[in-house]
Amino acid sequence: MKLFKLAMWRMAAAMVVILTAWAAFFYMAVMEEVNDEVDDSLEDYAETLMIRSLSGEEMPSSSNGSNNQYYLYEVTAEYADRYPHITYHDEMVYIAEKEEYEPARVLIQIFQADDGIYHELVVYTPTIEKQDLQRAMLGWIVFLYVLLFLAILSVNAWVFRRNMKPLYVLLEWLDNYRLDSHSKPLENPTRVTEFQTLNEAVLRSMERSEALYEQQKLFIGNASHEMQTPLAICRNRLEMLMEDETLTEKQLEELAKTHQTLENLTRMNKSLLMLCKIENHQFVDVRSVCLNELMAHYLDTYQEVYGYKRIRVQMDEQGSFRTDISESLAIVLVTNLLKNAFVHSVEDGEIRILFTESAFSISNEGEGALDANRIFERFYQGAKKEGSTGLGLALVKSICRVSQLEISYAFEEGRHIFSVKK
């Protein structure tokens, strides 16, 4: 999960808990205040009634059309001792005028008259308005809860994205960075100390990597160049030794194996040397080359070499594929793709070559798809073949890159397909 999404999820979860607790507390506080106001009204009315009762004045009608209504009873001393002298609660009461039950807030107060007789005063007021207020308050609280939640989340998202922008810029630059290409310099201005430190650390790491990479290229190039002559000498000496008529069949067989190994090593050395030259841009003889003609020229040679596999070749030229490229590199590009198709094709299989003005493809029958993410890596071999160095497709990839061409691999309907386009 991305950092932004993870942070937003955690922030949202925390805000849900906090805002829910706040909303519940706010609602209870408001309703408590409403009840206090109702209770104060009931207390005032109850006090008026008690004063009139104790003074012997005429009591008002128990139901005088006002919101507050009452009942007055005589109770025993035992009853008065058993219950608290003042209580508040909500209940459903019968309203005679409306002939129905309604919710009401009730005050019950027990008091003693001058003659020692205890009285119980029950005063109540309908709270339909309070219920309406509760529903309205609940609706507004939910609305404000959602609005506040979204507002806080949006502000946090904006602040987080703005503050983390240098990190995303750095990640994008790292994703596009390639050691073997001229990547654009890092432009990531920021006033945040931590991001400044991170930028500097990444740049230092890249500088060390580039220096090491250049050293490796120089070493491989020098080593490959220096190995050419010793390898040629060893090969010639082996060939001269194999001409000795005194050698037994077993000795000749072992020398032949050694000679084959030396040939493979020589081819690998030449491939590594060419890779170094390509990466160092040493091929400057660029001109317009028709790959159709090169493919047709070398196709006959490979058909003869791999004739024992009885491979059929179908070449469809729907256009002439021309591109600006070094001819020597174009030859390596075409021959490596051809060799790869012949080597990995099944016996009695078919190789299909298609040319258009903007692309060409070469495909062969085979079993199982290769790893498209690794097939162009150096020394990667999906299926080991005798004499293979694991550098052929790496060479093709490097040639395409320096020649502004794009190569891709696909496995469709039992065929390995390599496509090159401008």
Overall pTM surpassing 0.75 (yes/no): no
pLDDT given for residue 407 in this prediction? 92
Domain range summary for the chain, segments of one domain joined by +: 3-149, 193-279, 286-421
User: What class, spelled out in words, does domain 193-279 have in CATH?
Assistant: mainly alpha
User: What class, spelled out in words, does domain 3-149 have in CATH?
Assistant: alpha beta
* CA–CA dist 350, 77 (Å, integer): 114
Range 286-421: architecture per CATH = 2-Layer Sandwich (3.30)
pLDDT tens by residue, the chain, 422 residues: 677 777 778 888 888 888 888 888 888 887 787 778 788 888 888 888 888 888 877 777 776 555 677 888 888 888 888 888 888 888 887 766 667 777 788 889 998 888 888 888 888 887 766 667 677 777 888 888 888 888 888 888 888 888 888 888 888 888 888 776 667 788 888 888 888 888 888 888 888 887 777 776 666 666 666 677 777 788 788 888 888 778 888 888 888 888 777 777 777 777 677 777 776 666 667 888 899 998 988 888 888 888 888 888 899 999 999 998 888 888 888 988 998 888 888 888 899 999 999 999 999 988 778 877 788 877 666 655 554 556 778 888 888 888 889 999 998 888 999 999 98
